[in-house]
Amino acid sequence: MIEIAIIGSDMQEVIGTSIAIYLVTGGWIPLYIGVLITVLETFLFLFLDTYGFRKLEVFFVILIAIMGATFGYEYVIVKPDQLSVLKGMFLPWCEGCGRDQFMLAVSIVGAVIMPHNLYLHSALVKSREVDRKRKASIQEASFYFFIESGVALLCSFIINVLVVAVFAHGLYSKTNYQVRVNCDARKDSMDATAFPYDNETAKSDLYKGGIFLGCEFGLVSLYVWGVGIWAAGQSSTMTGTYTGQFVMEGFLQIRWSRWKRVLVTRSITIVPALLLALRINSMHDLTGMNDLFFQISALLVSCIVIFINLYFFADYITGELGNTWYIWIVLLIPSLAYLIFVCYLLFVCLAAIGVLTSPKWKKIPGFDPIHFNTDAPWLSEEQGIVAKKRIDNDRYPQPII
């Protein structure tokens, strides 16, 4: 299961990197060529492993620095409200958000908590030279691993804050027409047709995000965005390859060299990625497919985390508390209460975003999703959104070319 999840995430990383190459080259290199270049780059960069793992770690640091510099540049250019950014970090509320924003949040979870992260950090700790016969040595190694993971996650958090803040401030609540007007005003716009002449809310993805930045702040912002995406995609593909090696060695007892591992995974990944790049008609459809992969990845990661936690939970009980029946009875009562509470929160969430609308849910005592009382702002604004979509298109006429 984890191998399938890693290969699936690897596929979306290959597509994302090819989109970055397409943006940086101004569309000169087509997507299918970008897929082939991404595969070749992974082979070349992992060749650094022959000079020692530390050399490869330095290269990862360089890629992360590129991401921080490029996305930090976009953050400075866009100039979002600092107080609102800090508020969004600590208050779990999104005013005016609806189902689309909820699905975007799920995609972000899938993009940040990748399947390979669950195994890579543990495997890196295992690869360290530690005297495992001494408890003090193991505790010391665990402490430094905690610091290392904390620094890595802090960098990831900062980078994600930069990206989300840029588009939350610059693109949120804007219509396609508003963005298109800015694109038409620039003669150097790469692809103004990415935003049609309509009153629909503008949506952002890897490709449209770059086009938007180019239309608002110039081509330099577009190229900087493309370089940042390339660094993110390349680092993810390389870490995914390493994790696959550790998974195969640990679960299947198969010990392959790095280049064989890359060859096998890339052979599996490159075929569907090339087919998507060749067969899908538009860049919008391809990036939409990439967002779908992120959502699937989030689902798989959730299942994997649940099973891992259950395993360690059962292992801790049997190892520390024993396997007598009364211990399980004592633990079963709060566990069931917690599970019921989580299910209740799930129903509340689905009802609030308008997913549970069937009258069949009325059979649950005390639960009526249609008349469910909630102060979610997107429900109070639903009528306004519908009315906004019914505005006559003559209000936003297309320019005569």
- pLDDT tens-digit series, residues 143-174: 888 888 788 888 888 988 899 899 888 887 78
DSSP state of 397: P
Mean pLDDT across the stretch 122-135? Answer: 73
CA distances from residue 369 to 169, 260, 355 in whole angstroms, order as listed? 33, 53, 9
pLDDT of residue 89: 84
Mean pLDDT across the stretch 327-351? Answer: 77
pLDDT of residue 283: 66
Picking from 6-15, 198-207, 261-270, 362-371, which range would have the lowest pLDDT averaged per residue?
362-371
Query: 263: which residues sit within 8 A by CB, 6+ positions away?
Result: none
- Would the CA dihedral through 297, 299, 303, 308 be positive or negative? positive
3-class DSSP assignment, residue 58: helix
Specify which of 134-143, 256-265, 370-379 reaches the highest per-range mean pLDDT. 134-143
Is the pLDDT reported for residue 380 higher than 70? no
Mean pLDDT across the stretch 172-181? Answer: 88
Task: Give the pLDDT confidence of 44-83 residue by residue, as tens digits.
Answer: 776 776 776 677 778 888 988 999 999 999 999 999 989 8
Mean pLDDT across the stretch 370-374? Answer: 49
What integer best gives the mean pLDDT of the chain? 75
Query: CB–CB of 361/368 below 8 Å?
Result: yes
Query: CB–CB of 227/66 below 8 Å?
Result: yes
Query: CB–CB of 41/49 below 8 Å?
Result: no
Task: Give the pLDDT confidence of 280-297 residue by residue, as tens digits.
Answer: 656 666 666 666 666 666
Query: CB–CB of 246/117 below 8 Å?
Result: no
Rg (CA), the chain: 24
Is the pLDDT reported for residue 110 higher than 70? no
**What percent of the chain stands above pLDDT 90?**
7
Is the pLDDT reported for residue 278 higher than 90? no
3-class DSSP assignment, residue 206: helix
Is the pLDDT reported for residue 269 higher than 90? no
Query: CB–CB of 349/325 below 8 Å?
Result: no
